[in-house]
Chains A and B, each alone.
Chain A
Amino acid sequence: MQLNLAECFFRRAEQQPDHALILGQDPGQTTRYCEFRLEVLQLARQLAETGVGRGDNIGLHHRSGRDYIAFIYAVWACGACVTPLPLELTAPEKREIFQHIHIDAVISGAEIFEPLAAALICPAVSLTPRAVFARTRVVPAAPPQLAAVNPAFIRFTSGTTGDAKGVVLSHESIHARIHAANRALHINSEDRIVWLLSMDYHFAVSIVAYLTFGASIILPKNSFGVTLLAAASRHKSTIIYGAPIHYSLMTQDDTGAALPAELRLAIVTTTALSSAAAEDFHARFGRVLNETYGIIELGLPAINVSNARAKQGSVGQVLPDYQLRLDRTEGQEHGEITVRGPGMLDAYYSPWRDREAIIQQQGGWFRTGDLGRIDADGFLYIVGRLKEMISVGGLKFFPEEVESVLESHPAIRAASVFGVEERQWGTTTAAHLVLADASTAPDEQALRAHCRQALASYKIPGRFQWVERLTYTASGKKIRSADKLRPPESE
């Protein structure tokens, strides 16, 4: 019989029926494992009555939260698979998902259904008082190999290393990932985890792990620092799972609130943590943040659970079930991170390439496209993205290095560095800079002098341009682009 993650949750719920699964904002808003199991089964019955079953793929267009978790588990309980449709995507971006991925039907928040209506057969059927269900109008064919991998998730995303659309994760892969990650996280029924991220992008190695290992999930009302600290304290939280911005908001809280003494991990994910934010958090709370290295294709092969200040900035040692190798050119400290281990993606969806084909092409290892270095104690540091590496006259470096020097200037709040193709000179570099509050912009000469103290001359940007703000992806990653760069002033 094929593994089903919903069954894993049902078994856990039978073992600890009265244990709290969701800890809401108010004392009366606790949902126990047995209650949630019944809710999932009821939803699964309703979905099955509409014809949802094995082989179907259901788009989920819903706010993150307890209902989101219930819908995913109900779809799995029917034997179907889920494709998240993130709410913040624009209408054309949502259309692109329907164009590439075979989606049989959609579960949507009732009040946010309208933007999807053109792709769906209306009227939608009411599933709960706040959610509707509708079948899709035109469906591209699913890859014939899909059913054989027992899919749980199809995440529409560009592949890490190419133009492939969609990452397929089976129940077995997710199960393998959460067990591998738990050799470092040790999540169990004693854990109460503050959850702060979008479930569209974070679910497989986090929420599924919590439900499988019997933890309780705390869902704060909003992201304000005071709210997060109050929720963590009220529920004696043992783990917080958030993005750098959440920890910055907690650091800046001015009510004097503290973190609970029970807290054992403050996990930070989604994007690199700046050393200033980590230092500020430590100064306020006396705690080191636990950085992670998560990749949709792989899971969580590295987590820094050392809680050692000396290892701040590292994503930790590679977990016991994984092997990690840096693909280096001779004489260089850093190299492309390649990994092998359990729970690797089952396939890229379009064009279809299964796991064997992906890793065979890459010598048995998964090439991440990220660049890292490993210190003498085996701690991994992410240095940059291979495709963002800048090469000036064959001399290669990473924008992050230059940005960090620029951001150490007191008048600079944020910097983005990127290559620019100049007709005469090949690649040169430029920087977008955001002025710090109440500062006067230094001139280019002063900026160059500042850079020269720390950087080889080829790394110093040829042009500096002050901008109001930098651009970021929805998940908070910096978009380094020359699109807004003004042409150089004529001399």
Chain B
Amino acid sequence: MIMEIQTALRSYIVDEVLAGNPPEGFDDDYELIETGIIDSLSTMNLVIYLEQKHAVVFGINEIIPRHFRSIRALSTFAQSKQT
């Protein structure tokens, strides 16, 4: 289950956030926040994507950097919040 979200999330970020051009060495542990891949607009787009496509329900106090720092961290969190 978690692999499913992780794979989908990787595709989403590569296709929609990075427009198909991932940086060199981009993997599931790649730092998303410090590198600016997650910026002010992509944060909310990711939340909407996970809510709509993967039935993940975020509490407002859960939209914090710790959960978004990498694809692996976000997948783990998302999986724990799936309804």
Q: Which residues of A contact B (CB under 8 A)?
A: 63-64, 88, 109, 111-112, 114, 196, 198, 220-227, 245, 248-249, 252-254, 437, 468-469, 472
A248 to B42, CA, bound (A): 17
Q: Which of B4-12, B52-60, B71-79 contacts A (4 or more CB under 8 A)?
A: B52-60
- B19–A224 CB distance below 8 A: no
Query: Measured between C-beta atoms, what is the minimum distance from A416 to chain B in Å?
Result: 15
Q: Which residues of B contact A (CB under 8 A)?
A: 18-21, 33, 36, 38-45, 48, 51-52, 55, 57, 59-61, 63-65, 68, 83
Most A CB within 10 A of own CB, among B40, B44, B51, B59: B40
Chain B minimum-CB-distance residue to A219: B40
Count of CB-CB pairs between chains A and B under 8 Å: 63
- B60–A248 CB distance below 8 A: yes
- B63–A222 CB distance below 8 A: no
A221-B36, A222-B39 known; A227 vs B61 contact (CB < 8 Å): no
A112-B19, A223-B44, A469-B51 known; A249 vs B63 contact (CB < 8 Å): yes
- Residues of B with C-beta under 8 A to A225: 63-64
A227 to B20, CA, bound (A): 27
A222 to B63, CA, bound (A): 11
- Residues of A with C-beta under 8 A to B43: 222-224
- Residues of B with C-beta under 8 A to A248: 60
A51 to B4, CA, bound (A): 49
Additional A-B contacts beyond A222-B38, A222-B43, A224-B33 (12; CB < 8 A): A109-B19, A111-B20, A198-B41, A220-B40, A221-B33, A221-B40, A222-B40, A224-B68, A225-B63, A245-B44, A249-B60, A254-B61
A486 to B73, CA, bound (A): 36
Query: Measured between C-beta atoms, what is the minimum distance from B81 to chain A in Å?
Result: 10
A249 to B60, CA, bound (A): 7
What are 12 contact pairs spanning A and B, CB under 8 A? A221-B36, A222-B40, A222-B43, A223-B44, A223-B63, A224-B33, A225-B64, A252-B61, A253-B64, A437-B57, A468-B83, A469-B51
- Residues of B with C-beta under 8 A to A224: 33, 43, 63-65, 68
Query: Measured between C-beta atoms, what is the minimum distance from B77 to chain A in Å?
Result: 14
A112-B19, A249-B60, A468-B55 known; A226 vs B40 contact (CB < 8 Å): no
- Residues of B with C-beta under 8 A to A109: 19
Query: Measured between C-beta atoms, what is the minimum distance from B21 to chain A in Å?
Result: 5
- B63–A64 CB distance below 8 A: no
A221 to B32, CA, bound (A): 11
Chain B minimum-CB-distance residue to A111: B19
From B21, B61, B63, B68, contact of A111 by CB (8 A): B21
Chain A minimum-CB-distance residue to B34: A221
From A64, A112, A226, contact of B41 by CB (8 A): A64
